[in-house]
Amino acid sequence: MPKLFHPIVLAVFFLFLYSCQEKMAQTHTTEVPNIIFIMTDDHAYQAMSAYDDRYLQTPNLDRIAKEGVLFTNSFVSNSICAPSRAVMLTGKHSHLNGQRDNFTRFDSSQATFPKYLQQAGYQTALIGKWHLKSQPTGFDHWEVLIGQGNYYNTDFIENGQRKRSEGYVTDVITDKSLSWLETRDKEKPFCLLLHHKATHRIWMPDTALLNQFAGIDFPVPDNFFDDYKDREAAAAHVMGIYRDMDLVYDLKMMDKAGALQTQYRKNYENMYGRMNAQQKAAWDAYYLPIIDQFMAADLQGEALALWKYQRYMQDYLKCVQSVDNNVGRVLDYLEEQGLAENTIVVYTSDQGFYLGEHGWFDKRFMYEQSLRTPLAMRFPKGIKIKGSVNQMVQNIDYAPTLLDFAGLDIPEDMQGLSFKKILTGEDQAWRESIYYHYYEFPNEHGVKKHYGIRTDRYKLIHFYEDIDEWELFDLKTDPEEMFNLYGQKAYDTLTTDLKQQLTKLQKVYQVN
Ligand code: SGN
Ligand code: CA
């Protein structure tokens, strides 16, 4: 018998083949997921039709929820941009990651989930809004807006170099993301943070969508004319649609004669000035007739308030529509490339926003519209449940959850919880309350510093610094948070109990 066919040699050969197959099977079944984390800026859940279809349809955002899950109790821990981004990256509350407000510079030597993924062999990228001042770390590739960036022909810093990109920002960020996906190293798993500027103030729509919603009268929230009775901190706001929105800057009424010399007209002229001739022509064709009508109507009081609300909604919702279209492009790309099954797609916003509730725009307050944020997630290969997730999740949970799905250990110092087991249908004990703390004061919108606790049914808030006010709401009987129950005899026991729970949360989260 030739030596090659000796039974021992053959046995060793087959054993070797078997072990190779085993290895391949193992790498196949343990194949780590890709991640696309899409985050918009100031997107109100009220403007995502999976949550609320009174205003517009968002078929592509809804598609993530339909093919995956929609979180119906998704909250932030500090409703403002840079802090929210720092929480998302670190999995820690603001007092531990150090980013309490928009003015601070993010300490980017900290551990973040993209860094952990990068160390584990992921290819990582960040494209779009960053807003953390320090240079991004933990990304193989990054292209970020400078500060808030611009809606038209915005500048980016691309791995250290400043470059202007012609076009509408939501399209441009998506183009850049798709081209990075196309040119990435296809042998490695990837994690892409795709962070839109939209739908941030001053809500400049894409010229291609200006005629969307023509003739539509959007429903006005019941508490649009809120009187802020028994809510001293709310009364101190500077974010009223009627009183504080600038006719030229926010609402684009830049009359050619220059009659409307509002406080922020110059800022608007600068933004308009960034557009090229074609963009300006399309812009003017839409806004000039509205400006003429507005000047002729000479609206006052309630009529002016409602007109402002409708104008605001028109622009805001068109910005959402661009986001929806562009998210559709990303989802289509994943399908075409055969990546949809094994890619986790997260859609969220850095916080919620007011669409006229309490008469407001902006965010910051611990009231529902800005405490909540949209959250939908799709991962066909890994998510075993369908429909809605009702557990209270918070943006501190994103980092641990994504690391968990990537098969990595969750660092002990992360404060969030992984909600992976909820999504794979396994038993998982969950929190019964969330902790919130907003620190940016003084600020342009007059929102006081405050912290608080929200349970399934109740919310207790303490406003402090130049004020000392407590507010208590029963979200079941008063979902619009109009009746402050704090101090009423019948609620004393409940208040004491909530204060104790709040103290416990502060201990757990190491608040000093
Ligand atoms: C800017 C806006 C504010 C907004 C903050 C924070 N003014 O300062 O209205 O509250 O950003 O927004 S603007 O005139 O510059 O538009 S955040 O989302 O970045 O936190
Ligand atoms: Ca924001």
Strand pairing of 449-455 and 343-349? unpaired
Cα(103)–Cα(505) distance, rounded to whole angstroms? 26
Cα(161)–Cα(166) distance, rounded to whole angstroms? 16
Q: Which atom of ligand 1 is nearest to the CA of 102?
A: 20
The pocket of ion ligand 2, defined by CB under 5 A, consists of 41-42, 81, 350
Answer whether 440 contacts ligand 1 (Cβ < 6 A). no
pLDDT of res. 488: 98
Closest ligand to the CA of 268: 1
pLDDT of res. 19: 44
Smallest CA-to-CA distance from 377 within 148, 66, 57 is with 66
Task: Return per-residue pLDDT of the chain as tens, 512 residues.
Answer: 445 455 554 555 454 444 434 333 333 345 899 999 999 999 999 999 999 999 999 999 999 999 999 999 999 999 999 999 999 999 999 999 999 999 999 999 999 999 999 999 999 999 999 999 999 999 999 999 999 999 999 999 998 899 999 999 999 999 999 999 999 999 999 999 999 999 999 999 999 999 999 999 999 999 999 999 999 999 999 999 999 999 999 999 999 999 999 999 999 999 999 999 999 999 999 999 999 999 999 999 999 999 999 999 999 999 999 999 999 999 999 999 999 999 999 999 999 999 999 999 999 999 999 999 999 999 999 999 999 999 999 999 999 999 999 999 999 999 999 999 999 999 999 999 999 999 999 999 999 999 999 999 999 999 999 999 999 999 999 999 999 999 999 999 999 999 999 999 999 999 98
pLDDT of res. 160: 84
Q: Which atom of ligand 1 is nearest to the CA of 249?
A: 14
Q: Exposed, middle or buried, 348 (CB in 10 Å: 0-12/13-18/19+)? A: buried
Residue spans per domain, the chain: 1-31, 32-204+316-430, 223-311, 450-508
Q: Locate 472 and state its tokens.
A: 């208590």
Task: Report which DSSP code applies to 209.
Answer: G
Mutate to test the pocket of ligand 1, among 444, 445, 447 (most ligand atoms within 8 A of CB): 444
The b/e string for 303-336 (b: 16+ C-beta within 10 A; e otherwise) is: eebbbbbebbbbbbbbbbbbbbbbbbebbebbee
pLDDT of res. 21: 40
Please state the pTM of the whole predicted model.
Answer: 0.94
- The secondary element (H helix, E strand) that includes residue 9 is helix 7-29
Cα(14)–Cα(5) distance, rounded to whole angstroms? 12
Query: For residue 32, how many other CB atoms are within 10 A of its CB?
Result: 18
pLDDT of res. 159: 80
Q: Locate 72 and state its tokens.
A: 């119906």
Look up the CATH number of domain 32-204+316-430: 3.40.720.10
